């Protein structure tokens, strides 16, 4: 029987790489994001893997619910949910922070995860089967200077992952958290609001993780037998020892 994975933020970075990795092991895919053209490009790349595209913002609960309700019968049974959508906005001390950035991070990283999970959990609970992978960050476990609200949002993901794992255990639904360190994606471009030069400096002087490195781990996690539950993984670049400790050359 074909298994179905639902990947948020699949238009780029870790989400896109995860979609590719799951297609390689036989999953059909519900690909979601805000950039329809990128999702269409990915679906073409993944052919002949069956895919269904949903365009919405995870912050919009009504849009999430409507999108999930629109799934055709062949894609309604979600076996794996990868809550990947989110990001960082700004890097400033708390007294200089932009409240609009705070809203965006909390609404996407925390409420977005909740919105999508709540929309898909009725099906999982009814079947008493499912696997949820929440993409956290080392920032949720190590606070660093000027990371304040982003770190807080990812700390919330860590707490929610543990709470979901406890609440859903009697329903045979596994919940895991994947915490990447320094991964070269569009993350820093978003954080620095399109300042590509500043974003590039984040990854200079060492070999950062690639989205495919995170996707490989997710692929491994969701293909373990039922008696194995990998609950939490932290992944650093080889030159990284902590959130902000990187051995640059």
Give me the numbers of helices (H) and strands (E) for the chain, helices first please. 9, 9
From 144, 150, 203, 206, the catalytic residue = 150
The CA radius of gyration of the chain, in Å to the nearest whole number, is: 17
How far, in Å, CA of 170 to CA of 130, rounded?
12
Both ends of the chain: CA-CA distance in Å? 49
Give 79's DSSP letter.
Answer: S
Distance CA(44)–CA(33), nearest Å, equals: 16
Distance of alpha carbon 200 from alpha carbon 209, whole angstroms: 14
Q: Are 78 and 4 in contact (CB under 8 A)?
A: yes
Side-chain-side CA neighbours of 52 within 13 Å: the count stands at 17
Q: Is 203 a catalytic residue?
A: no
Contacts of 109 (CB under 8 A, 6+ apart): 86, 87, 150, 153, 154, 156, 157
Report d(CA 228, CA 163) in Å as an integer.
Answer: 19
228: phi then psi, degrees, rounded to nearest 5: -120, 125
Q: Which residues are catalytic, by number?
A: 150
């Amino acid at each position: 029987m074909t298994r179905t994975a639902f990947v948020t933020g699949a238009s780029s970075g870790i989400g896109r790489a995860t979609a590719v990795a799951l297609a390689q092991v036989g999953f059909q895919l519900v690909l979601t994001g805000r950039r329809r053209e990128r999702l269409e490009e990915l679906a073409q790349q993944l052919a002949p893997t069956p895919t269904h595209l949903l365009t919405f913002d995870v912050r919009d609960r009504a849009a999430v619910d409507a999108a999930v309700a629109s799934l055709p019968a062949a894609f309604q049974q979600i076996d794996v949910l990868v809550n990947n959508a989110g990001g960082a906005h700004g890097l400033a001390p708390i007294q200089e922070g932009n409240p609009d950035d705070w809203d965006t991070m909390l609404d996407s990283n925390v409420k977005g995860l909740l919105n999508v999970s709540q929309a898909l959990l009725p099906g999982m609970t009814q079947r008493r089967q499912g696997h949820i992978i929440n993409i956290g960050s080392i920032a949720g476990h190590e606070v660093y200077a000027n990371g304040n609200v982003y770190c807080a949002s990812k700390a919330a993901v860590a707490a929610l992952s543990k709470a979901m794992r406890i609440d859903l255990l009697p329903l045979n639904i596994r919940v895991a958290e994947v915490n990447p360190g320094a991964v070269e994606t569009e993350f820093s471009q978003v954080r620095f609001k399109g300042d590509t030069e500043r974003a590039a400096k984040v990854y200079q002087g060492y070999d950062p993780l690639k989205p495919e490195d995170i996707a490989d781990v997710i692929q491994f996690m969701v293909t373990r037998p039922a008696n194995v539950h990998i609950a939490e993984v932290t992944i650093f670049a080889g030159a990284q020892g902590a959130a902000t400790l990187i051995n640059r050359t």
